[in-house]
Amino acid sequence: MNDFDLNRFSRNNSFLVRIGTAILYSVMVAVALNFFWHPGHIYSSGITGFAQIVNTVTSRYLPFTIPTEATYFALNVPLFILAWNKIGHEFTGYTVFAVAMSTIMMRYIQPTHISLDPILCAIFGAAVNGLGTGIALKSGISTGGLDILGIVVRKKTGMNYGKFNILVNLVIVLIAGFLFDWSRALYTALNIFINGRMIDSVYTQHHKLQVMIVTEHPEAIIEGIQEKMHRGITIFHDVEGAYGHTEKTVLITIIDTYDLYDIRTTVQKCDPFAFMSVTEVQKIYGRFREQEVV
């Protein structure tokens, strides 16, 4: 199944996809945490990493231990408020569900016995968590924590979420070095880097595409695109097809990757014989309206 088919299924089954994705993510983060990070003394990125730090500090220096999952949920509460005000109510509702499920899974999905090399713990933990986070973001939900801050920063600055994640989490690398040793800090840095790259490889909504459409029915296509996506369109009139020497119009627009399903179905509906090409865009200068997160 390609990205077009996945987007079509996601749009037609939005609620079920998001609930299922939230549950899938909660299982994956629990596996990453309990099967790899805890046994390997590796810290995660973001709120999960800070929750692990609280767990380590309290178990070492205080007469009581605060569970990682409890801190994880508590630290997310103020970010729920930020998401509610800055991103969207529906988005926040799915985020609360994802975080609550993750808290439960972290508590109850536990290995009976596992012993791995710390570098393997870093690699596999990052791969599992990064894949789960990327799938969640691609489905239109957040996993809480720095996901929320990353989306807000991306909307304001255009910075890729994975890069933002790596920059913010450098402090966790330093803490890992002080609490354990600097080899563990290196493994934590490797974990954070792989996690960020995995997220960016899966979550491609921030990737921009240039779409060129050659059509004999430009008015219908323009109306359909602007109704669904509110995208600006550049129009080239009076172009000629070399094969049939018929008069055509060329439309050029920039979209998010997530818009590709809508624009393709619109073009197919308005002009089944239209020619459409899609290319990746490296940089955009000027005004570009980001897709709203719901």
Over residues 116-156, the pLDDT tens digits come to: 788 999 999 999 999 998 888 777 777 887 767 776 766 66
Structural domain includes residue 289: no
CA dist 83 and 96 (Å) reads: 10
Judge if 171 and 267 occupy the same domain. Answer: no
Q: Are residues 148 and 107 in the same domain?
A: yes
What is the CA 239 to chain-centroid distance, rounded?
Answer: 40
Q: Considering only CA atoms, which of 55, 47, 10 is closest in space to residue 29?
A: 47
Q: Kindly report the backbone phi and psi dihedral angles of residue 215, in degrees, each rounded to the nearest multiple of 5, phi listed first.
A: -145, 160
Query: Is residue 290, in this structure, part of any structural domain at all?
Result: no
Give the end of a domain, one of 153, 171, 202: 202
Say yes or no: 91 and 220 in one domain. no
Rg (CA), the chain: 22
**In the listed set 202, 236, 257, which residue is the last one of a domain according to the structure?**
202
Coil, strand, or helix at residue 240?
strand
Residue 262 belongs to domain spanning? 208-281
Contact 121, 187 (CB under 8 A): yes
Does 127 reside within a domain? yes
In a shared domain, residues 138 and 181? yes
* Element (DSSP H or E) covering residue 239: strand 234-240
Residue 250: per-residue pLDDT? 94
Please write the tens of the pLDDT for every residue from 245-277.
Answer: 888 999 999 887 767 777 888 898 899 989 999
> Would 293 be classed as within a structural domain?
no
- Whether 188 and 49 share a structural domain: yes
- Domain membership of residue 12 (yes or no) is yes
Please indicate, yes or no, if residue 105 is contained in any of the structural domains: yes
Roughly what angle, to the nearest 10 degrees, separates helices 14-31 and 3-12?
110
Give tens-digit pLDDT for 71-126: 999 999 988 888 888 777 887 888 899 999 999 999 999 887 776 788 999 999 99
The answer to whether residues 165 and 235 belong to one domain is: no
Same domain, 109 and 164: yes
Name the token pair of 149: 């801050």
96 and 169 share a domain?
A: yes
Would you say the C-alpha torsion 250, 254, 255, 256 has a positive or negative sign? Answer: positive
Q: Taking the complete model, does pTM exceed 0.85, yes or no?
A: no
Residues 121 and 233 in one domain: no
Shared-domain flag, residues 128 and 242 = no
Q: Of 186, 202, 218, at which residue does a domain stop?
A: 202
Q: What is the CATH number of the domain that holds 228?
A: 3.30.70.120
- Residue pair 164/232 in contact (Cβ under 8 Å)? The answer is no
Do 168 and 101 meet the contact criterion of CB atoms below 8 Å apart?
no
Domains: count for the chain: 2
